[in-house]
Structure 1
Amino acid sequence: MSETCLLNLVVSPEVEDTVTDWLLDQPTVSGFTSHPIAGHGSSEHSMSLAEQVAGRRRQVLFKLHLPCADAADLLAAIKAAFRGSGMHYWMIPVLESGHLG
């Protein structure tokens, strides 16, 4: 069984470039994936009127696959660096991973 984790970060498009640059500067991050996503939920108070009408908010999802200890350390650094950004995160264990030849 793998001792790696998948760290997921959901950020607003306004901070996407800042988060990207910050992650690229971290020595424990060898790479990551990012995707444009639409956030749906009940937090209408934090949505603009246009987002409330559309029923969704544009966001960006970052996915980082790394050793769990590194993911925990990275998450602590993210919490310090991006406090107040509204970033949402979750970390899950990876049961198996690899590359197909």
Structure 2
Amino acid sequence: MIDQPVCLTLIVPHRLRDEVFDYLTEQSDLVSGFTAAQGSGHGTEVRLLTAAERVKGHADQTIVQVVLSGTDASRLLDRLRVSFAGTKLVYWTIPVTERGAID
């Protein structure tokens, strides 16, 4: 059976951004690189932690995406659950049907 690649997306609160970046960089046996972008969290499940977020009505977040094998994604999630317990990081995975680089 082939271990299909997935895209693991993490929604990271602004206050944890640098810590998560450092952590992912340290997981070099699983993570060869990742992409990050600014995001705004909206909805009843989103915690607005600062006065500025409450005024704006959304949480400042970072969207982190990592493409890796499904097995490695599971291993990384297990590690994240231990290292970031209680932080309410949101994640999901989706299958990657094709990947490459345009030269």
The separation in 2 between residues aligned to 1:68 and 1:7, in whole angstroms, is: 9
Which one scores higher on RCO, CA 8 angstroms, separation ≥ 6?
1
TM-score norm. by structure 1 comes to: 0.88
Q: Aligned ranges for residues 43-54 of structure 1 at < 5 Å?
A: 43=45, 46-48=47-49, 49-54=51-56
The answer to which of 24-33 and 46-55 deviates more is 46-55
Q: 2:3, 2:71 within 8 Å by CA — same for their partners in 1?
A: no
Kindly report the root-mean-square deviation, in angstroms, between the aligned alpha carbons of the 2 structures.
Answer: 1.8
The sequence identity of aligned pairs, in percent, is 35
For structure 2, the 5+ residue unaligned runs are: none
Q: Aligned ranges for residues 11-90 of structure 1 at < 5 Å?
A: 11-26=12-27, 27-43=29-45, 46-48=47-49, 49-90=51-92
The separation in 2 between residues aligned to 1:5 and 1:93, in whole angstroms, is: 4
Q: 1:2, 1:94 within 8 Å by CA — same for their partners in 2?
A: no
Aligned residue in 1 for 2:93: 91
TM-score norm. by structure 2 comes to: 0.87
Kindly state the Cα deviation for residue 51 of structure 1 after the two structures are TM-superposed.
Answer: 2.4
The separation in 2 between residues aligned to 1:43 and 1:66, in whole angstroms, is: 28
